[in-house]
Amino acid sequence: MADTIYISQLVSGKDPVEALRALAGQFPGEIVFSTSFGWEDQVISHMIFANHIPIKVFTLETGRLFPETYYVWNRTMEIYGQPIHAYYPDNNRLEHMVNAKGPNSFYESVDNRKECCAIRKIEPLHRALAGNQCWITGIRAEQSPNREDMSNVEWDEGNQLIKFHPVFNFSLDDVKAYIKQYNIPYNTLHDKGFPSIGCLPCTRAVQPGEDFRAGRWWWEDQSKKECGLHAAVTLNDLKE
């Protein structure tokens, strides 16, 4: 297990770019960043690519993304000239689920939705993280109540690695200002009331006064607004 106290000290007092450089030096060839091409992730991709920090960038290609997301993905590769590695769901698992339950089973129950997330996101994530020691994410403290008590450095028990959130203390205004300052491409759905963008069937715009994540899995109870990517989920938890 990597020492979270040591890593916390390593990044303490550093701006996000300096912290990412320090971590890339600490974990050469064993550090990755997961992007879903939202505001925060585009900021971090810019930090990595524009400053030539040796961190592998990957995304989870669920097969159900918005057209706008694919545009940002392609545009980001064009601008920075760097690869963004795609991880797809396991063919057999996905085919079994869709054949048995149909393409939109996630609307029918929380268990079905979690099964879909497990197949399309969590299992590919485990493959993407395998062999690495540090995972960079775009989590911010104000995104949801259960993230406010987190730290910018964590030990991920399920994946057995360190997690670092470089924009953890950024406000949404900070993120937008950074994007404007560096002319970073971003998903235009954000301008249409989508603060959090996932799969197309599971994401809608947020109405005035609604919670930040109200647009994700809106048909479910408000307390279940996570897909499991940032929970201590192991491969044994995935449905066969």
> Active site includes 227?
yes
Q: Which of the residues 134, 199, 202, 227 is marked catalytic?
A: 227
Tokens at 83, concatenated: 């690869």
Angle CA(154)–CA(72)–CA(219) in degrees, nearest 5?
65
Sign of CA dihedral 142, 144, 146, 152: negative
Q: Which H helix or E strand runs over 97?
A: helix 91-101
Token pair listed for 134: 């540090």
Q: How is residue 11 written in tokens?
A: 């990044």
Give the DSSP letter of residue 152: S
3-state helix, strand, coil in the chain (%, to 5): 45, 10, 45
Residue positions annotated with a catalytic role:
227
